[in-house]
Structure 1
Amino acid sequence: MFKIGYRTIKTAVGAVLSIMIAQLFQLENFASAGILTILCIKPTKRKSLKAAMDRFVACFIALLLASLFFELISYHPIVIGILLLVFIPATVKLTVQDGIVTASVIILHVYMAENITVSFILNEVFLIVIGLLVALLLNLYMPSLDKKLLHIRDEVELHISNILRSIANYLKINDEGLLANEITGLDQAIQRGKELAFKDYENRLLQEENLYFNYFIMREKQFHIIERVLPLLASFQFNTSQRIQVAEFIRDLSEHVHSGNTAHHFLYKLYRLKHSFDQMELPKTREELQEHAALLNFVREMEQYLQIKSHFKGLYDTKTDSKKETSG
């Protein structure tokens, strides 16, 4: 069974309202108001506002040019072609080309009228205003995407937590776990989150910063670091004390993955961990030295992972209505 979305409902309601209002004012070509509304109902508020502005400008250019061309030359089909040769490049130059189709309706109204009067011009202006205004008023309502965004956020953080836990298990007991599924799931969740966050931003006309989008971009950068460190795991062969310490650190980090606004706590712990490595005895064999170097490289990557998070402002936790202070 097909599903009727809210945008479809708004389009249907908007077309009916526009036509009814135009009929109420006894306007000629009243159905055109409905066409204008249908063309201006967009998925987001910003796109709807842009569509309305483009069509408003394009329609008035079309009304002006059509009046001049038809009155000065002739009401002939060839003149329509000549007019379009001027009108279309003009709309492209003004970056309002999305209004070409709508404005073409106005051009045809002028052509069929065969006589330009003040009442005719006012009739066309009222049609434009009614069609665009109804669309804008209807598009003031957009369903909140917060729940969906927070659900994807939780999904992303669960994947990251599971990946970090698997890394910790590998470092401790060489257990590879189900990393492949988690990596794929994390990548897909981040992409869905970015798309939805951008749509949410498009619905917030007065909001300059896209916090949700920034959050998913931050997670994407962390995801790339995770992808880089995974091949390093194959370099670890010896269960050294350093490797166990790193495993404990990663396990602790996996239990604190959330959208809080700072990772300074774990950066400090990592600094202490690196300092303790400097105090330990140097590797004695070439293999141990190579593994030690790989482990230090792994730690540096995780430091960058945490630094990326430390620059993020944080999202509000819906359960506590506050921002968490430590996170991964």
Structure 2
Amino acid sequence: MFPIGYRTIKTALGAALAVFLAQQLNLDFYASAGIITILCISVTKKDSLKASWERVVACLAGMLYAGVLFELFGYEPWVLALLILLFIPSMVKIDAKKGIVTSAVIMLHIYTFGMITPAVVLNELLLIAIGISVALVMNLYMPSVEHNLLEDQVRIEETFASVWKEYARFIREQETDWDGKELAEAPVFIEDGKTKALQSIENHVFRYDDYFYRYFHMREKQLEVLERTLPFVSTLDRSVWQGERIAAYMDRLGKGVHPGNTSKEMLQELADVKEELQQSELPQTREEFEVRSALYYILHEMEQYLNIKRRFKPDDERTETANQEKQTRRQRRKEKLAARQQR
């Protein structure tokens, strides 16, 4: 069984309703009301309003163009071609491109009538009004994607936490069976979240809410830091006590990945780690110097990672919601794992 999305359902209901209303008013070309509705169904509320306005402007302009040209030169195919040649560039010029197809339907109606009269104009105006109005009503319902955004948020945070955990494990053991899939998956998760966040912004007509978009953008910048850090972590081929200290800090960094802003405390702890490293004995060999240099670079990148988060201003209410969502997801995973072990 093939899936049917909410937009398909809205389009079907809207087209049927528009045709029904046009039939009840005994309008000529009543089926065109359904066509106009189909063309006006959009993905977001803002896009729906903008597209509807463009279609109103284009349709009114199309009626004016058609009335003038057909009455001057006659209702002939070559006049229709001239009409389209003049009309399309005009709509592109005034940024009403989305209304070109809709207005073409109206202009063809006038061509079919073979005359322009008040009754013809009223008929076309009613078709436009019914088609666009029904589409706007249908577009009032847009399913909320906030729950999906919270899930994406939790998924990205779990991915980041896993990366820090694997970095720490490698620093301790100098070998790991980690395949790095989290670093490959994270960009996909972030891009998906940004797409949904933009859709959410477009569905808020009377308020601007870009929290999730800013959040995913922040994580995207942090991911760049994680990717830059990987080569230096992988070059550590010997264990030193400073590495153990940094690994322990990475563990804490991974556990602290959440929407809240705890970067101030983590930056203070990072400063303590850097001070400890500076006060330790100087490297005695080239190998020790290379290890120490790599550790300093890793500390620098972790500081950049935290500064990116520090500049992000989260919404307290959403932060609390996301934390609750994370705890719920983790609890469910624990329950599933326990059930599998019992089997």
Q: Where on the TM-score scale, by shorter chain, does this alignment land: which range?
A: over 0.9
Deviation at 1:318, TM superposition (A): 1.8
Deviation at 1:321, TM superposition (A): 7.0
User: How do residues 250-289 of structure 1 correspond to structure 2 at under 5 angstroms?
Assistant: 250-289=250-289
Which segments of 5 or more consecutive residues in structure 1 lack a partner in the other structure? 323-328
Aligned twin of 2:119: 119
Q: Residue deviations 1:297-321, cap 9 Å, x none?
A: 1100110011111111224232667
TM-score (norm 2): 0.90
Aligned twin of 1:208: 208
Aligned twin of 1:309: 309
Instruction: Give the number of equivalent residue pairs.
Output: 322
Aligned twin of 1:195: 195
Distance across 2 between alignment mates of 1:261 and 1:109 = 61
Tell whether the 8 Å contact from 1:91 to 1:97 is kept in structure 2 after alignment: yes
Tell whether the 8 Å contact from 2:14 to 2:38 is kept in structure 1 after alignment: yes
Deviation at 1:234, TM superposition (A): 2.7
Distance across 2 between alignment mates of 1:150 and 1:240 = 40
Distance across 2 between alignment mates of 1:130 and 1:91 = 22
Provide closer, same or farther for how the CA distance between residues 235 and 320 of structure 1 changes in structure 2, counting only shifts above 3 A. closer
Tell whether the 8 Å contact from 1:88 to 1:100 is kept in structure 2 after alignment: yes
Q: 248-257 vs 260-269, which deviates more?
A: 260-269
Aligned twin of 2:168: 168
Aligned twin of 1:148: 148
Aligned twin of 2:246: 246
Aligned twin of 2:6: 6
Which segments of 5 or more consecutive residues in structure 2 lack a partner in the other structure? 326-343
Tell whether the 8 Å contact from 2:170 to 2:234 is kept in structure 1 after alignment: no
Q: Could you tell me which amino acid in structure 2 is paired with residue 77 of structure 1?
A: P
TM-score (norm 1): 0.94
Q: 32-41 vs 115-124, which deviates more?
A: 115-124
Deviation at 1:43, TM superposition (A): 1.6
Distance across 2 between alignment mates of 1:174 and 1:235 = 9
- Bigger helix share: 2
SS at match of 1:206: coil
Distance across 1 between alignment mates of 2:323 and 2:209 = 23
Deviation at 1:44, TM superposition (A): 1.5
Q: Could you tell me which amino acid in structure 2 is paired with residue 318 of structure 1?
A: T
Distance across 1 between alignment mates of 2:220 and 2:304 = 13
Deviation at 1:210, TM superposition (A): 1.6
Tell whether the 8 Å contact from 1:264 to 1:310 is kept in structure 2 after alignment: yes
Q: Residue deviations 1:173-220, cap 9 Å, x none?
A: 224242411212222211211222222222122332421111111111
User: How do residues 53-64 of structure 1 correspond to structure 2 at under 5 angstroms?
Assistant: 53-64=53-64
Aligned twin of 1:227: 227
Q: 29-38 vs 205-214, which deviates more?
A: 205-214
Distance across 2 between alignment mates of 1:207 and 1:194 = 18
Tell whether the 8 Å contact from 2:110 to 2:116 is kept in structure 1 after alignment: yes
User: How do residues 42-61 of structure 1 correspond to structure 2 at under 5 angstroms?
Assistant: 42-61=42-61
Distance across 1 between alignment mates of 2:234 and 2:6 = 51
Tell whether the 8 Å contact from 1:41 to 1:139 is kept in structure 2 after alignment: yes
Tell whether the 8 Å contact from 1:166 to 1:175 is kept in structure 2 after alignment: no
Q: Could you tell me which amino acid in structure 2 is paired with residue 281 of structure 1?
A: E
Deviation at 1:34, TM superposition (A): 0.8
Q: Could you tell me which amino acid in structure 1 is paired with residue 68 of structure 2?
A: L
Distance across 2 between alignment mates of 1:89 and 1:299 = 58
